[in-house]
Amino acid sequence: MATPVRVAGAGALAAVLAAAVSRPRAVSRLVRSLVARAAGSPTYAPLPPPQKVKVALCQLHVTADKDANMRTARKAIEDAASSGAKLVVLPEMWNCPYSNDSFPTYAEDIEGGASGSVAMLSAAAAAAGVTLVAGSIPERCGGKLFNTCCVFGSDGKLLAKHRKVHLFDIDIPGKITFKESLTLSPGPGPTVVDTPAGRLGIGICYDIRFPELAQLYAARGCQVLIYPGAFNMTTGPVHWELLARARAVDNQIFVLTCSPARNPDSGYQAWGHSTAVGPFAEILATTEHGPATVYAELDYAQLGERRANMPLRQQKRHDLYTLLDKAGQ
Ligand SMILES: NC(=O)CCC(=O)C(=O)O
């Protein structure tokens, strides 16, 4: 896959050098504006994508029994592959109950993952021959815990790891209070993965609330944003679909969300409603709150069409505002 490349103008460089001699303050202004422009409108080499990809969003029944959760996940991956899916997505925290009490107990060392969830995921991706965005599990590393999504290639190789960058710390009195930061640490940055199923930008649940992350992924040439997530019964009904469609329409990009099924026995009631959204913010496929696999076909040609119909990227006013990609490649 092509690597994204920033393009700097040779003319602009000559202008800076010529002016540097006579007008140092004007030069400093010019440099600042060029840096902002480069950051706000990076140019990337085109990506040769697969044209169409069938995706499966596995809304799993998650319990306190880790082995049972692993069996459920493996079966869902196999079934999705049998149905023709090439890109399979699992939910946030699919191997444990979503609670601060559970995260330390169920956490795994991913890098040394010769056993447990990571070994199962790798074997399942290879056996099924799919790209697997494996939801998230609690990761233990260097004395810290992270909420981590592993992405596996169809040969079972671990292609990337995304550690949730925005932790879910909210307090809506009488409704929901949750503080992931009591047990988890935030991840270091964005995660872009090139796969045979397209260029993927990964976020986990609360990450979807931050439009800058999605914008940055779009600027880096991602074709689809994937958010394993577990929204709740207060924010889910009002925000889950809204946020997925907002990220899609802002960036003219595909968005996939994948939740655990709602388990009445669980302390945390997940909203469910795993959904695939197209680049015109249209719902391609969705479900209710029970265990289910949602299938959709992503036609990447639509990205070019939508962006040609409505050229938002070219119409941005980088002289007024800009996205600063601090983690730029
Ligand atoms: N697991 C999460 O990050 C939950 C996010 C959520 O429910 C929200 O409203 O945001």
Contact criterion met (CB below 8 Å) for 194 and 202: no
Contact criterion met (CB below 8 Å) for 103 and 137: no
- Ligand 1 centre from 231 Cα, in Å? 4
Q: Which residue has the tokens 């992503």?
A: 298
Q: Give yes or no for residue 209 CB within 6 A of ligand 1.
A: yes
- Can you tell me the distance from the alpha carbon of 66 to that of 114, in angstroms, rounded to the nearest whole number? 16
- Nearest protein CA to atom 6 of ligand 1, as residue: 231
**Sequence ranges of the domains in the chain:** 1-46, 52-308
Choosing from 96, 149, 150, 205, the catalytic residue is 205
Return the percentage of the chain with pLDDT > 90, whole number.
81
Residues 6+ apart with CB under 8 A from 216: 190, 201, 323, 325, 327
- In this predicted structure, what is the pLDDT of residue 280? 98
User: 179 an active-site residue?
Assistant: no
Contact criterion met (CB below 8 Å) for 190 and 166: no
For the stretch 10-46, pLDDT in tens is 444 444 445 445 555 444 444 444 444 444 444 444 5
- In this predicted structure, what is the pLDDT of residue 226? 99
Mode of pairing for the β-strands spanning 254-258 and 275-277: antiparallel
Question: What is the phi/psi pair of residue 141, to 5°?
Answer: -155, 125
Contact criterion met (CB below 8 Å) for 187 and 163: yes
State which of 166, 170, 204, 210 you would mutate to test the pocket of ligand 1, scoring each by most atoms of that ligand within 8 A of its C-beta.
Answer: 170
Q: How confident is the model at residue 47 (pLDDT cuts 50, 70, 90)?
A: low
- Ligand 1 centre from 167 Cα, in Å? 9
Ligand 1 atom having least distance to the Cα of 235: 9
User: Is residue 182 over pLDDT 90?
Assistant: yes
Q: What totals of helices (H) and strands (E) does the chain contain, helices first?
A: 9, 15
- Nearest protein CA to atom 4 of ligand 1, as residue: 231
- In this predicted structure, what is the pLDDT of residue 48? 61
- Can you tell me the distance from the alpha carbon of 142 to that of 110, in angstroms, rounded to the nearest whole number? 11
User: 141 an active-site residue?
Assistant: no
- In this predicted structure, what is the pLDDT of residue 52? 96
Q: Give yes or no for residue 205 CB within 6 A of ligand 1.
A: yes
Ligand 1 atom having least distance to the Cα of 208: 10
- In this predicted structure, what is the pLDDT of residue 100? 98
Q: Give yes or no for residue 318 CB within 6 A of ligand 1.
A: no
**Any idea which architecture 52-308 has in CATH?**
4-Layer Sandwich (3.60)
Alpha-carbon distances of 193 from 150, 237, 245, rounded to whole Å: 11, 30, 22
For the stretch 147-158, pLDDT in tens is 999 999 999 999
For residues 38-59, average pLDDT = 70
User: Is residue 260 over pLDDT 50?
Assistant: yes
- Ligand 1 centre from 106 Cα, in Å? 20
SS3 180: helix
- In this predicted structure, what is the pLDDT of residue 327? 79
Residues 6+ apart with CB under 8 A from 2: 44, 45, 46, 47, 48
User: Is residue 262 over pLDDT 80?
Assistant: yes
- Can you tell me the distance from the alpha carbon of 304 to that of 106, in angstroms, rounded to the nearest whole number? 43
Q: How confident is the model at residue 326 (pLDDT cuts 50, 70, 90)?
A: confident
User: 108 an active-site residue?
Assistant: no
- In this predicted structure, what is the pLDDT of residue 23? 53
- In this predicted structure, what is the pLDDT of residue 112? 80
- Mean pLDDT, the chain, rounded, equals 89
For residues 182-192, average pLDDT = 98
- Nearest protein CA to atom 9 of ligand 1, as residue: 235
Ligand 1 atom having least distance to the Cα of 232: 7
CA 249 to chain centre: 16
Packing angle, helices 10-22 and 24-40, rounded to 10: 160
Enter the ipTM.
0.99
Q: Regarding predicted confidence, which is higher, 329 or 70?
A: 70
- Can you tell me the distance from the alpha carbon of 323 to that of 80, in angstroms, rounded to the nearest whole number? 37
- In this predicted structure, what is the pLDDT of residue 30? 45
SS3 62: coil
- In this predicted structure, what is the pLDDT of residue 69? 98
- In this predicted structure, what is the pLDDT of residue 50? 74
- In this predicted structure, what is the pLDDT of residue 297? 98
- Nearest protein CA to atom 1 of ligand 1, as residue: 230
For residues 93-100, average pLDDT = 98
Q: Give yes or no for residue 231 CB within 6 A of ligand 1.
A: yes
Choosing from 58, 66, 86, 92, the catalytic residue is 92
For the stretch 97-142, pLDDT in tens is 999 999 999 999 998 866 799 999 999 999 999 999 999 999 999 9
State which of 169, 206, 209 you would mutate to test the pocket of ligand 1, scoring each by most atoms of that ligand within 8 A of its C-beta.
Answer: 206
- Can you tell me the distance from the alpha carbon of 73 to that of 124, in angstroms, rounded to the nearest whole number? 9
User: Is residue 72 over pLDDT 60?
Assistant: yes
